[in-house]
Amino acid sequence: MSAASEKKIDALIVDDEELARQVLRELLQVHPEIQVVAECANGFEAVKAVVAHKPALMFLDVQMPKLSGFDVLELIEEDVAVIFVTAYDQYAMKAFEVHAVDYLLKPIGRERFEAALERAKKRIGEKMQPVQELVTAARPPQQYLERLVVRDGTRVTLIPAAKLDYVEAQDDYVALATQGAKHLKQQTIASVEAGLDPARFVRIHRSYIVNFERVVRIEPYGKDSRLAILADGTRLPVSRTGYARLKSLLDDRA
């Protein structure tokens, strides 16, 4: 057999339930080519383990405390083949189907597991699809993000949407401004905007989304443009369309 001489595939098992991890371990026993390098009981551990071990394959539970499987995927930049594991989540399952990520439903059967593993092996080394679309599709309709996740090295920060002051586009990144600090994240401003509640956040400029609650006043600035002054004194540019959006939101609230 040539399999033995092949390089082993490093894999990560992420699930908050010990018994669920045990099932995956057992299913992997007949696959000596897969080496489980770490088991994680939550998303924070998973992010750390991905940075530390750079696994090629990851079994990722969707429902976990604080950081969900989607959050974890959103936070890692490494190319890793992901097999999602979930008990029941109608929206998530639809998203998996549409975006062709492998997924397994609990309880996990041997046959389905083998098929998913085969597909994942083929995909190892390929560039991962942008995860944003999957995350957006997996969100139940009419539900907006309650919080955003950012990572700095292995440190993960959760920013509740209510504490987000504004978002600024910076090349391939966005800066999330909250309580005087800025967190960089690799994401487009349009996809951030799509996740935020339009009744609370307004795109005031090509490069800015502002938390409506933070705006204290609007000042004219030059010809055809304005400045939004936030509660902490921050001044953000407001474009003409941005001003129209602000006004219509103001009218809706009045």
Partner 1 sequence: MPTLLTRRSYQGAYLAAWLLLGSLLVFLVKVSGGIGTLEATVLLVPMAVLFAAACLSAWYTCRATPLRTSGMTRIFATHLLAAFVLSFAWSQIGRLYARALASSPTFSGLDVRYDAHSATIVISGVLLYLLNVGFFYVLIAIEASRAAEARVLETSVLARDAELKALKAQVNPHFLFNSLNSISALTSSDPAKAREMCILLAEFLRMTLGLGEKASIPLSEELSLVRRFLAIEKVRFGARLQMTEEVSEECKTMLIPPLLLQPLIENAVTHGIANLPDGGSVRLAAHSENGRLSILVENTFDAEATPGHRNGMGLANVRQRLEARYQKLASMRVAPNATLFQVNLSLPAEPREEQS
Q: Which residues bind partner 1 (CB under 8 A)?
A: 16-20, 22-23, 26, 41-42, 44, 63, 65-66, 87-89, 105-108, 146-147, 158, 160
Q: Minimal distance in Å, beta carbon 114 to partner 1?
A: 16
Query: How far is the C-alpha of 71 from the C-alpha of 146, rounded, in Å?
Result: 12
Cα-based distances in Å from 138 to 127, 131, 176: 21, 11, 22
Continuous H helices in 139-213:
189-195
Q: Minimal distance in Å, beta carbon 23 to partner 1?
A: 4
Nearer of residues 18 and 224 to partner 1, judged by Cβ: 18
Query: How far is the C-alpha of 121 from the C-alpha of 137, rounded, in Å?
Result: 25
Rounded to the nearest 10°, the torsion over CA 36, 61, 125, 153 is: -90
Q: Minimal distance in Å, beta carbon 137 to partner 1?
A: 19
Nearer of residues 138 and 228 to partner 1, judged by Cβ: 138
Q: Minimal distance in Å, beta carbon 41 to partner 1?
A: 7
Query: How far is the C-alpha of 23 from the C-alpha of 74, rounded, in Å?
Result: 26
Query: How far is the C-alpha of 87 from the C-alpha of 67, rounded, in Å?
Result: 17
- Residue 223: how many other CB atoms lie within 10 Å: 5
CA 191 to centroid of chain Cα atoms: 11
Nearer of residues 42 and 186 to partner 1, judged by Cβ: 42
Q: Minimal distance in Å, beta carbon 52 to partner 1?
A: 18
Nearer of residues 25 and 122 to partner 1, judged by Cβ: 25
Nearer of residues 117 and 228 to partner 1, judged by Cβ: 117
